Every structure is written in structure tokens, then in C-alpha cells.
Amino acid sequence: MKFYSEEKELSVFNRRKKIADFKNGEFDTDNPDVIEKLKPHFRYESPKVISGLAIFLKLKKEAIKKGIYKKGMKKKDLIDALEKKEKK
């Protein structure tokens, strides 16, 4: 999971032990203990969010090609509209 800090270079300690070292305002870790400690204090980007966004953008692109995209459509709406278009 990737975490972001306003400060470019930052070290985070937990009881005198360094648990994170931000470089250029970013820190990436797979350690579940560190993730749980950093989540309440820093912005983060989950791999699930990234893959979900990629799927949404792919659906949006396909809907635009087929002329059925409307501004503000959600992922579920895109899927429903594309399925209806395929049935016709």
C-alpha cells in the first residue's frame, strides 16, 4: 500500500523504532502492522482502489465509443448500459 506525506523527507517512529521512511513524500509497504499504524495519519492508495479505477476507466471508454456514456455515470450504471446495448 502506498502512503503519501506533505513533507518530502519524513521518518515515522513508533516507540523509538523507525516504521516508515518517506522519500519524495511517498512510502510503499506490504507490512500489515505498519499499514494499520499509518492509515489513520496519512493519505494512502490501496492496490484495490487502483484496479477498481482502471476497470471503471475501461468501462467508461467503451461506453463513450458506443455513444451511451452520460456525465456522472457510476460503474454499475455503465455495466447496465453496456449490457443493454449488447442485447439489442
* pLDDT per position as a tens digit, 35-74: 999 999 999 987 666 677 788 888 889 889 989 888 888 8
3-state secondary structure of 3: strand
DSSP symbols for 4-50:
E-SSSSEEEEETTEEEEEEBTTEEE---HHHHHHHTTTSEEE-HHHH
- With a cut of 90, say whether residue 11 has pLDDT above it: yes
Sign for the pseudo-dihedral over CA of 48, 51, 53, 59:
negative
Report how far apart the first and last C-alpha atoms of the chain are (Å, whole number). 42
Residue ranges of domains in the chain: 2-45, 53-87
Q: Which long-range contacts (CB under 8 A, 24 or more apart) does 33-36 make?
A: 35/1
